[in-house]
Amino acid sequence: MAQTADNAHSRVGPIGLVLSGTLVGLTSVVFAISFAAIIYNDRLAPFLERGIAHTLLGASIMAAIGAFLFSYRGTIGQPQDITAILLAGAAATIAAGPVSADPEVLYTTVFMMVAIAAVAAGAVCVILGTIKVSFLARFTPYPVLGAFLASTGYFLTMGAIGLVLGRNVTIWDMGFILAPQNLAAWAPWVILGGAMDVAIRKVPGNHTLPVCILGAAAAFFVYIYAAGIGLEGAEARGWLLGPFPEAGFLGEIGRVSPSLTDWPAIATQVPVLLAVIGMTLLGGMLNLTGLELTIGEDLEIDRDLRTIGVTNIATGGVGGLVGYPLLGETIFAWRIGLKGTAAGVSAALTCLVTFLFGADVLALMPKGLLAAVVAFLGLDLLRTWLWHERQKLPWQDFLVILLTLAVAATIGFLEALAFGLCASVVVFIVSYARLNIVRSVSDLRERRSTVERSAPQATCLSGAGDRVLVVELAGHLFFGSGAGLRKAIWQRINTPVALDMLILDFNHVSGIDSSTILNLNRMRSDCDARGIELALSGCSAFVADRIARFNIHHSERRLVHYPTLNDALEVAEERILAQTPPAADVDGLPFLDELARRHPALDLASMFKTLDCSDGDIVLRQNDCTNGIFVLLQGQVRATISMSGPNDLEVARFLPGSLIGEIASYGEVERTATVSSIGSSRLMRIDLAHIDEADALSPGFAADFHRLVARRLARRLRRTTLEVKQTLDRQSPVGQ
């Protein structure tokens, strides 16, 4: 459940609150200006102070609103690296176009694009959160997510290098990047970012990253003074973030003329804006899920999604960057005791104070330190997805990540996303096509209908049952699996064993596509050419409609649909029994005839009660504790068991001569099924208490009776064992 009053306040004392809040706030400031520096770089570098001003103000608004609206009040909403990278790429593209001829037009266009991205992402989040479909964001394939994050790591690392060198760089600029003077400029800071990543892994704790940042800043100032460079020299070399205008960041707000916006230039970046919206949804959902796991509480995801939307709309109103819950900083605040609104308020106040009064201080911040923080984020993502996750992912998924990263580095970010998604779809299709869609394969020697047959009939079916092949399908049938099924069926029917009938059962099939129906049509032609009847059973209304719409009934012989597999099996059994009759000396009442043969002096009809039933009459009721065994004399009866659904399940159908109810009678347990009459029927009831009376009249009757019952129980048990074995056997040659 979401937190209520117990998380609405800090869990630390006043002094701890100030220290912890300051630490969290400073971390927010460093991240915010780092992301602003990525976007406002190269040709946009003259507008960095404006970008920082709007970013800090937006970050303050985002954190403040989120502190009171998120279901977990300690959640800190802030600008994000992933969306910043996307916007940085779009900004660089706009800056490389004709709009760059007028600096103010360039800045205004980029500013409006950033604002539109935040407002659009916010609006979509509010809508999806309101209609409660946030779960859709969780369906992104894992390899695509990994490829996206690895690509983000690459762009962050290249962004860090470009931040130091003062221009946007790509893999195609390696000659410029590796030039000795440039290498000496960026390498120490990127190495520092890598060292931060190592330090956090080796010394896990809440204060490791802040200590690394403060230590690096201190070392930088010690170096410039020890080397005799000083602040002025560092500023002249472009090592510092400043200088900024004397008016501070507050004076930069409002210096935007929307009329100067180059709207066609923004229109060219619509794909990027859509990607920003998508990553805001996905990133927000993933971070909220990670937060749930960390703090051990269930969050109100749809409510939080609406909060992400509201904060982004408010941030976009002042030109701030797109953001959502910052997982690392939120967990950091949670671990040091800021578990209520104090976490978000601390971040908001620190960003606001820096915005109002911190221009002079930020002007002294080493630009390379920001690059190190950005490099730390990028290298951490690269290490995670190129090394750590590599050990857990299948090689196909890891190959998708590598290839997508290569596309991102050589072509572009959006192209990489499209490639990763397509590659994942291909991997899925190939993998799914290898799944065995065949639930089981059998014939009438193993798989029978629920009709209880006599021993001679069972022997007949065992001898000729290989003429009927039964294939039970499962899952969703699509073009990959359908082609494999047809090939396997062809191999099965193209054998010396003559088949009369092929039954395809669709009871466990959830869906079917047109390609599979086409292959089914071809299977029908294969069967027609060999005189084999193809029958379908258990088709759902959806599957049956799809097959009918595809006009599969074009062959000369009509394709037969059976409601259930049991119906198809019963028809197949009757055909075999009609073509190959059982032994001629077998009559309709083998059980009673055998008793009468051994004990001719007994009149069984007068000794045991006869019961006449009409259609639907209940002979035995499930869970009743009644005694007695029944022998069916005429007609048919069925045994059904109650299911959770509205319909009962038929488990057996009995013909004349069948023995009914012996299991519960001998086991002295409740009836396991309900037995009812199908039409008119006549049964003989044999109470076990009367067996001894019959034995007294004809010695040996009890022993013969129990022996005959045991024989039938043994046959039924053997049949059940074969059916269970067949059900458990999923590794069939068909469908491989």
Where do the H-state alpha helices sit in 530-603? Answer: 541-549, 565-579, 590-598
pLDDT-derived band at 65 (thresholds 50, 70, 90) equals very high
Q: Using an 8 Å Cβ cutoff, are 325 and 291 in contact?
A: yes
Is-same-fold flag (438-584; 590-699)?
no
Distance CA 404, CA 230 (A): 45
Angle at 196 between CA 191 and CA 198, to 5 degrees: 95
Query: One-letter amino acid identity for 687?
Result: D
Cα of first residue to Cα of last residue in the chain, in angstroms, is 46
Reduced 3-state DSSP string for 149-212 = HHHHHHHHHHHHHHHHHCCCCCHHHHHHHCCHHHHHHHHHHHHHHHHHHHHHHHCCCCCHHHHH
- What element of type H or E holds 253? none
Reduced 3-state DSSP string for 680-703 = EEEEEEECHHHHHHHHHHCCCHHH
State residue 3's pLDDT score: 43
pLDDT in tens, 661-711: 888 888 888 888 899 999 999 999 988 878 888 888 888 888 988 888 888
Distance CA 615, CA 712 (A): 27
Q: How many CA atoms lie within 13 A of 30 on its CB side?
A: 25
Inter-axis angle of helices 301-316 and 103-130, nearest 10: 160
Beta strand ranges found along 224-290 (DSSP E): none
* Stretch 377-391: mean pLDDT: 86
**114/246: higher pLDDT:** 114
pLDDT surpassing 90 at residue 79 = yes
State residue 676's pLDDT score: 93
Where do the H-state alpha helices sit in 296-412? Answer: 301-316, 327-335, 341-357, 359-363, 367-383, 395-410
Distance CA 417, CA 414 (A): 5
Beta-strand pair 629-641/659-660: antiparallel
State residue 358's pLDDT score: 77
Q: Where are the domains of the chain?
A: 18-383, 438-584, 590-699
Beta-strand pair 501-512/533-537: parallel
Q: Is 438-584 a CATH 3.40.710.10 domain? A: no
Tell me the three state secondary structure of residue 603: coil
Q: Using an 8 Å Cβ cutoff, are 465 and 500 in contact?
A: no
| Beta partners for residue 469, in sequence order | 443, 502
Buried b (16+ CB within 10 A) or exposed e, 544-565: eebbeebebeeeeeebebbeeb
Q: Using an 8 Å Cβ cutoff, are 312 and 62 in contact?
A: yes
State residue 384's pLDDT score: 86
pLDDT-derived band at 114 (thresholds 50, 70, 90) equals very high
Inter-axis angle of helices 514-529 and 541-549, nearest 10: 70
What number of H helices and E strands is found in the chain? 28, 14
State residue 477's pLDDT score: 83
Q: Using an 8 Å Cβ cutoff, are 109 and 99 in contact?
A: yes
State residue 445's pLDDT score: 82
The secondary structure of the chain in percent helix, strand, coil, rounded to multiples of 5, reads 65, 10, 25
What length is written for the chain? Answer: 736
Distance CA 221, CA 225 (A): 6
Tell me the three state secondary structure of residue 473: strand
Distance CA 323, CA 76 (A): 10
State residue 68's pLDDT score: 94
Give CA 171 to chain center in angstroms: 34
pLDDT in tens, 478-532: 777 777 788 888 888 887 778 889 999 999 888 888 888 888 888 888 888 888 8
Which residues, at least 6 apart from 640, have a Cβ–Cβ distance to it below 8 Å?
622, 648, 649, 650, 651, 673, 674, 676
Instruction: Specify which of 19-28, 160-169, 359-368 reaches the highest per-range mean pLDDT.
Output: 160-169
Q: 172 burial class (0-12, 13-18, 19+ CB within 10 angstroms)?
A: exposed
pLDDT in tens, 447-466: 888 888 877 787 888 888 88
pLDDT in tens, 98-107: 887 889 999 9
Distance CA 682, CA 624 (A): 21
Query: One-letter amino acid identity for 421?
Result: L
Structure tokens at 75: 């959640």
* Stretch 136-154: mean pLDDT: 78
pLDDT in tens, 363-383: 788 888 888 888 888 898 899
Cα separation values, 348 from 58, 77, 329, 344, 415, Å: 9, 9, 13, 6, 36
State residue 694's pLDDT score: 86
Beta-strand pair 560-562/323-325: unpaired
CB-CB neighbours of 683 under 10 Å: 25
pLDDT-derived band at 582 (thresholds 50, 70, 90) equals low
* Stretch 255-265: mean pLDDT: 89
Inter-axis angle of helices 301-316 and 270-295, nearest 10: 130
**Taking phi first (over 0 means left), then psi (-120 to 50 degrees means alpha), and beta for anything else, what does residue 185 get?**
alpha
pLDDT surpassing 80 at residue 585 = no
What is the residue-wise DSSP string for 340-367? SHHHHHHHHHHHHHHHHH-HHHHHTSBH
* Stretch 156-177: mean pLDDT: 87
CATH of domain 590-699: 2.60.120.10
pLDDT in tens, 188-237: 999 999 999 899 888 877 678 778 888 998 999 999 999 989 888 988 88
pLDDT-derived band at 246 (thresholds 50, 70, 90) equals low
Q: Using an 8 Å Cβ cutoff, are 152 and 181 in contact?
A: no
**Taking phi first (over 0 means left), then psi (-120 to 50 degrees means alpha), and beta for anything else, what does residue 668 get?**
left
pLDDT in tens, 715-728: 878 777 776 776 66
Q: Which of 680, 678, 675 is nearest to 570 (CA)?
A: 678
pLDDT surpassing 70 at residue 335 = no
State residue 6's pLDDT score: 39
pLDDT surpassing 80 at residue 417 = no
Q: Which of 687-694's residues contact partners 24+ apart within 8 Å by CB, and which partners?
A: 687/608, 687/627, 687/628, 688/627, 688/628, 688/629, 689/627, 690/607, 690/608, 693/607, 694/599, 694/602, 694/607
pLDDT in tens, 8-26: 344 455 665 666 677 677 7
pLDDT surpassing 90 at residue 637 = yes
Distance CA 665, CA 712 (A): 14
pLDDT surpassing 50 at residue 74 = yes
Q: Which of 458, 209, 214 is nearest to 335 (CA)?
A: 209
